[in-house]
Amino acid sequence: MDLQLKNKVIIVTGGAKGIGEGIVKVLAAEGAVPVIIGRNETDNMKLVNELKGQGLKAHQLVAELTDPAAAERTVQAVLQEFGQIDGLVNNAGVNDNVGLESGNYTSFMESLHKNVVHYYLMAQSVLPSLKLSKGSIVNIGSKVADTGQGGTSAYAASNGARNALTREWAVELLPYGIRVNAVIVAECFTPLYQSWISSLPDAEVKLAGIIGKIPLGNRMTTAEEIANAVVFLLSPRSSHTTAQLVYVDGGYVHLDRAIDAVKK
């Protein structure tokens, strides 16, 4: 299926690694121009050069999105380079374990800036361009907004806000034909996930226990599977889909994780 994304300029925050990298690769394969926004130029350029080596298009900008001014600077730089913006993927963030017992006002507010404030600022900065292109926004969210996790209040609050903003923006932007959706991630193996698992006692046992509770196939979701859903939602092929929270998680959140069907 042609997703009709050829030469469409799509911003992907946190696009150099993990889920963001998966999204960038699928966008490039569809003929789009993914623009990676990340704090590490070396990581950004590694992926850009890889894609260009395959004859695909990609671009990168270095930005620290916890800086409130970074969003507007980034958007203006993209417009200066390409003259258009056709989509935004808000993806950058980190599960930083700012809990109720372990956190404080400063760490809680810092986590909100890492995980949800820049979602708002990026969407606000890109909005004039999306009005012209009738583009689309996809927010990446996490299961913790639904399930909780323990010890990560700020990240859970941020993801609850991401879900709420997705539906709020879908309503506000209806008059402009701008669609807004979210893809919700549960257990997807990324470098950040690997770091988290490795930090736990009996990491291999813990990982096996998690995988055993994923109903569909008893396996982790791949970054490419997340990316496929995101890119579809960005594309004109999903032209009547807005305000949706799409769970790409092998049934982890909504199916009973103890059902017999998960057993061999």
What is the token pair recorded at 121? 């600022």
Residue 96 has pLDDT above 50, yes or no: yes
Residue with tokens 């988290």: 196
Nearest alpha-carbon partner for 20 in 91, 94, 115: 91
Q: Which range (156-165, 184-193, 215-224, 235-244) has the least confidence?
A: 184-193
> What distances in angstroms separate CA 36 from CA 25, 120, 132, one per listed residue?
11, 18, 22
Query: What is the tens place of the pLDDT at every residue in 59-76?
Result: 999 999 999 999 999 999
5 burial level (CB within 10 Å; 0-12, 13-18, 19+): buried
pTM of the model: 0.93
Amino acid found at 34: P
Edge to edge, the sheet with strand 245-248 lists: 59-62, 33-38, 9-13, 87-90, 136-142, 179-185, 245-248
The CATH number of 9-186+222-249, from 3.40.50.720, 3.40.50.300, 3.20.20.450, 3.20.20.70, is 3.40.50.720
Please say whether the beta carbons of 137 and 180 come within 8 A: yes
Mean pLDDT calculated for residue range 41-58: 98
Residues of the chain with CATH 3.40.50.720: 9-186+222-249
Q: How far is CA 26 from CA 29, 65, 167, in A?
A: 5, 23, 25
* Selected catalytic residue, list 119, 155, 247, 252: 155
Alpha-carbon span 141 to 28, nearest angstrom: 22
Cα 12 to Cα 30: distance, rounded to the nearest angstrom: 15
Average the pLDDT over 14-33 and give the result: 97
155 is catalytic: yes
Is 247 a residue whose pLDDT tops 60? yes
The residue with tokens 């893809």 is 183
Residue 189's pLDDT band (cuts 50, 70, 90)? confident
pLDDT value of position 260: 52
